[in-house]
Amino acid sequence: MSESVNLISPRGYCAGVDRAIETVERLLHERGAPVYVRGEIVHNQYVVKNLAGKGAVFVDTPEEVPEGSIMVLSAHGSAPDIYERCAARDLEVIDATCPLVSKVHAEVRRYAGKGATVLLVGHADHDEVIGTRGEAPDRVIVVEDVAQAEAVQVPDPGNVALTTQTTLSLDDTAEIIAVLKRRFPALQSPASSDICYATQNRQDAVKATVEQTRAELVLVVGSQNSSNSQRLVEVARAGGADSYLIDGVDDLDPAWLDGQPRVALTAGASAPEVLVREVLDFLETRGYAREGSEVPTDEGVVFALPPQVR
């Protein structure tokens, strides 16, 4: 059997990641270094190192930033206290929060404002969930799995609402949400899913590719702390393929290719295409013929840049 590597599309950068990275790059170009960024602007080691090389300085707290400096807030969203601490240091805040994350923050504020307990389905230690929970810490309960969904208690079962982390697996959230709806018939939820379009589209594409091409190995380019990249690996494995998350070609163990004539290649929403191409080049040297889509994405979604850099 001839060996092939199928390039899955859509893959790589989503509109929110594009917006966040371009925000930092424009500030570096127009204002000069240093530009301070709270947390990783997006969850990708290559991107962070690249921007650091251009003069971005990544910090954990506003208190690390000299008073009066520029402070970019990452795509994952920040709790209200971060904005207050930035104001206390007279920092010029440039908010690179993904608009889809901002939507979830707004939902939490709205539900909490009506006195509801908000059940936030997500990973408690993820930057996005930490920021979202910060909108109403006394009213938000994080639910990480089905067991927690079965056990969670709320003060008033008649006034409870649902939000989710944007980068989760659709299948995982469906099971958790079904339990919450069964336990809390009055559960309020947003008109549209909180799972972002890019997360859903990339998962759907992996599912379809494994099914249609019978790919036995799916390589996902992305960093270990990237939730949506981790979910792509889970989706591929659920479809019956072996799958590994790699930051780049240096992480690829050639032994994974043994007896694997059909390989598929994709990337998480914060991984640049240049890393995909390096993996593809390596696979071609091993005799894999390239198939699939050369175009990473044609989703056509674009988010306006923050007003300070338009």
Give the residue numbers annotated as catalytic, written as ranges.
Answer: 128
**Identity at 127, one-letter amino acid code:** D
Bridge partner list, 119: 141, 162
**Identity at 37, one-letter amino acid code:** V
User: In angstroms, rounded to a whole number, what is the distance separating the alpha carbons of residues 94 and 71?
Assistant: 6
In angstroms, the Cα distances linking 287 to 48, 81, 254 are 32, 54, 12
Token duo for residue 37: 């960024």
On whether the CB atoms of residues 248 and 46 are closer than 8 A, the answer is yes
User: In angstroms, rounded to a whole number, what is the distance separating the alpha carbons of residues 222 and 234?
Assistant: 13
Nearest to 76 by CA among 61, 56, 98: 98
**Identity at 26, one-letter amino acid code:** R
Are β-strands 70-73 and 35-38 bridged in parallel, bridged antiparallel, or unpaired? parallel
3-state DSSP assignment of residue 281: helix
User: In angstroms, rounded to a whole number, what is the distance separating the alpha carbons of residues 8 and 296?
Assistant: 8
3-state DSSP assignment of residue 286: coil
User: In angstroms, rounded to a whole number, what is the distance separating the alpha carbons of residues 298 and 256?
Assistant: 30
**Identity at 89, one-letter amino acid code:** R
In angstroms, the Cα distances linking 145 to 119, 126, 142, 164, 232 are 12, 14, 10, 12, 18
3-state DSSP assignment of residue 268: coil
